[in-house]
Amino acid sequence: MKKFKLFFNIENEEQWLNEQLQKGYRCTHISGLGIYTFEQTDKRYVMRLDYQDNLPKEKLAEYKGIYEDFGWNYLKGPWLSGIRYWQKEDDDQNEIFSDRQSQGQYYRRLMNYSFWLGTVFLAYSFMLYSDAELYHEGLWSMDGSLFWKAFLFETPFVLMKLLPAIMAAFFWRSYFKAYRKHSLLKET
């Protein structure tokens, strides 16, 4: 079974993947285009996601080895995303972060990931919108049904132009959610 889904928040993606596992579908492949491949299973699995930025081959092998020693199976994810997908049979030892410090580091990595992606999309938005109007300039001088036809025709193109700004907002929202969770871990 294949499903298409896009996520801007790693925690929402993890939750959705675990919901699929509870329905009896184990994830076998994740493409960079948001296509998830599942197979039906009778066993109970759990999935956890981690973000590790640009690990060299030696560090990646060490990183994988640590988790595999605890029974986790590495599921290859999108090439440049930095998101690491871990899956294993449910055995009541289902957390990959064993203490508050490692959870805090995880949220700090999520903050960095969201901050830089949000900033890149925001900068791209400023470059894209600095010279151009969203709608064709002649649109506003049209009357009646011609105006509405032209307006409805151009609106999907306007939404596509606004996509980088929308994505920036999603990533910045994700940043603030990770920041709040990181702050709560530091306080208690």
For residue 8, what are the CA distances in angstroms to 82, 93, 98, 167, 177?
13, 27, 25, 8, 12
Q: At 38, phi and psi to the nearest 5?
A: -125, 155
What is residue 137's DSSP assignment?
G
Per-residue pLDDT tens digits for 154-174:
899 888 888 888 989 988 998
CB 126 within 8 A of CB 86: no
Q: CA 165, 170, 176, 181: dihedral to nearest 10 degrees?
A: -170
Per-residue pLDDT tens digits for 121-131:
989 888 877 76
- Provide the pLDDT confidence category of residue 79 given band limits of 50, 70 and 90: low
b (16+ CB within 10 A) / e for 117-151: bbeebbeebeeeeeeeeeeeeeeeeeeeeeeeebe
For residue 25, what are the CA distances in angstroms to 37, 41, 130?
9, 6, 46
Q: What is the mean pLDDT of the chain?
A: 86
What is residue 127's predicted lDDT score, i.e. its pLDDT? Answer: 82
Spatial distance between the Cα atoms of 15 and 93, rounded to a whole number of angstroms? 17
What is residue 102's predicted lDDT score, i.e. its pLDDT? Answer: 84
The pTM is what? 0.74
Q: Residue ranges of the domains in the chain?
A: 2-89, 100-187
Per-residue pLDDT tens digits for 3-61:
898 887 888 889 999 999 999 999 888 887 888 999 998 888 899 998 887 778 888 88
Which one is predicted more confidently, 93 or 108? 108
- Provide the pLDDT confidence category of residue 91 given band limits of 50, 70 and 90: confident
With tokens 């025709």, the residue in question is 153
- Provide the pLDDT confidence category of residue 80 given band limits of 50, 70 and 90: low
Spatial distance between the Cα atoms of 52 and 54, rounded to a whole number of angstroms? 7
CB 107 within 8 A of CB 178: yes
